[in-house]
A = this chain, B = another copy of it.
């Protein structure tokens, strides 16, 4: 098996155990890993690292990934208290607990910034790049697996490279990747993508074989998540969104500009709704492809999908692997520097679909910090797409926690996307098209179209009193009440 995967003769002597490979990682190091969502991240070496810590070794490292990764990396190392600092995104329960109890430093970043920062040396030297591959070519080129993320940049910049060849990842993934790296300014050139399916690079990551210090064989599979069944509320959101889009492209021969879709069950459901829409020849220029994209390909709706990762739920994975040749024709995985690049997103005119945690009456969006302080996941690529989209759309349910939380509030408790970047808000209640509206008009349309009936009057009351009572009427606020809904929730468990 490994013969067809480790094709470089010179590198065969580097084959070793996960434990031995892990010894290259020392206390205080900065380690960059592959992985973007629970796809294509290293598994065996992180587990060996956690083991070392359990055996009493003092070990603390900082980690840069593509985005979130699976439990073998973020979970195991968080529980072992090995992670001092974490960039640029995570979704792991144990990491989150460490971040919010103040024992892990977390720097939440736009995912398109990370690759640049690595190359600018803003993080300092990368000691080790620890990456998953499906194979290594004759010349030492790395064939990534289910994600590219920052792997190409980490391999380029790290002092040493450790490769996990993962035999659970089908070798047929070879050829799905398109690796292209930009130079640093002042030598940076235009990225030559003008269509979502343009191929501009190589299908492997070039790597100086002298840097590869260890190669580990493993067969631990990606720990992807099940996606929830589509519930009634998600369906309403999806229907509202699709009606809006259908109206928007009236006369455009049912052709949408390329779509980006955020990650998660609701996002998956929303995108999945397109299977029953009238749209044809859909393309995606996105960061992550979930189950719904396979459905859209199967139904003939999607012509092409570009991303940096593919994260298929366990239930659907077998089917994906069995039909991989079919799907491969319609999918490209790119470095996140390219998938999330403002240059390409703006040029292609991407329609961005992201999930908001809360939205305020003026159109500001909180995607990250609950009650202003507690990190959930991170901003991820939502800012890269939202700011540069042809049309930026946020979806959210209008209420949460059985109605004790209104997702529409007077003022969001943390700002990730400001009023300038948010074009459209969709809830199960309806759609607020904010383009070209002044803040006062935005408040009216958001309250009227998107808020839950239980909170409409309260929101209108806040707005009306702020408008009447305040000196400045551009963005009417009463600062002593602006965050009072969150304060009330902290005190009573309900915003009501």
Interface residues in chain A, defined as those with a beta carbon under 8 Å from any beta carbon in chain B: 85, 87, 99-102, 105-110, 113, 116-117, 120, 122-123, 184-186, 188-192, 194-195, 257, 341-343, 346-349, 364, 369-375, 379, 383, 387-388, 390, 411, 413-421, 435-438, 440-441, 466-467, 470-477, 479-480, 482-483, 486-487, 490
Contacts and interface: CB of A to CB of B under 8 A. Distances in A.
19 contacts: A99-B474, A100-B474, A105-B437, A106-B438, A109-B420, A185-B257, A185-B347, A186-B257, A186-B349, A188-B194, A188-B349, A343-B346, A369-B472, A371-B471, A372-B482, A415-B418, A479-B483, A479-B490, A480-B483
Contacts of A375: 472, 474-475
Interface SS of A by simple majority: loop
Contacts of A370: 472
A370 B473 CA distance: 11
A325 B105 CA distance: 55
A383 B420 contact: yes
A374 B102 CA distance: 36
Contact of A372 (B85, B87, B107, B475): B475
Given A87-B436, A189-B347, A414-B475, 9 more contacts: A102-B473, A105-B437, A185-B348, A188-B347, A371-B472, A372-B477, A373-B477, A417-B418, A483-B483
A102 B440 contact: yes
A390 B120 contact: yes
Please tell me how many copies of the chain the complex holds.
Answer: 2
A390 B187 CA distance: 13
Contacts of A421: 110
Contacts of A486: 479
Contacts of A435: 117, 122
A387 B390 contact: no
Contact of A420 (B105, B188, B379): B379
A479 B487 contact: yes
B473 A100 contact: yes
B347 A190 contact: yes
B479 A413 contact: yes
Given A416-B420, A418-B415, A472 B105 contact: no
Contacts of A374: 471-472, 474
A465 to B, nearest CB: 13
A25 B45 CA distance: 71
B471 A184 contact: no
A379 B373 CA distance: 26
B373 A123 contact: no
A348 B257 contact: no
Nearest to A417: B418
A471 B371 CA distance: 10
Point out which of A192, A379, A418 has the most chain B C-beta atoms below 10 A from its C-beta: A418
Nearest to A99: B474
A186 B190 contact: no
Contacts of A473: 100-102, 373
Nearest to A196: B186
Contacts of A383: 387, 420
Given A190-B191, A342-B343, A436 B123 contact: yes
Contacts of A364: 415
Contacts of A372: 411, 475, 477, 479, 482
A152 to B, nearest CB: 18
A303 to B, nearest CB: 12
A416 B364 CA distance: 10
A188 B342 CA distance: 14
A57 B433 CA distance: 33
B105 A441 contact: yes
Contacts of A441: 105
Nearest to A103: B473
A470 B440 contact: no
Contacts of A116: 390
Contacts of A120: 390
Nearest to A350: B185
9 A-B pairs closest in CB distance = A185-B349, A374-B472, A102-B473, A190-B190, A415-B415, A373-B472, A105-B438, A343-B343, A342-B342
B349 A343 contact: no
A335 to B, nearest CB: 15
A17 B419 CA distance: 41
B188 A348 contact: yes
Point out which of A113, A191, A479 has the most chain B C-beta atoms below 10 A from its C-beta: A479
A383 B110 CA distance: 14
Contacts of A341: 346
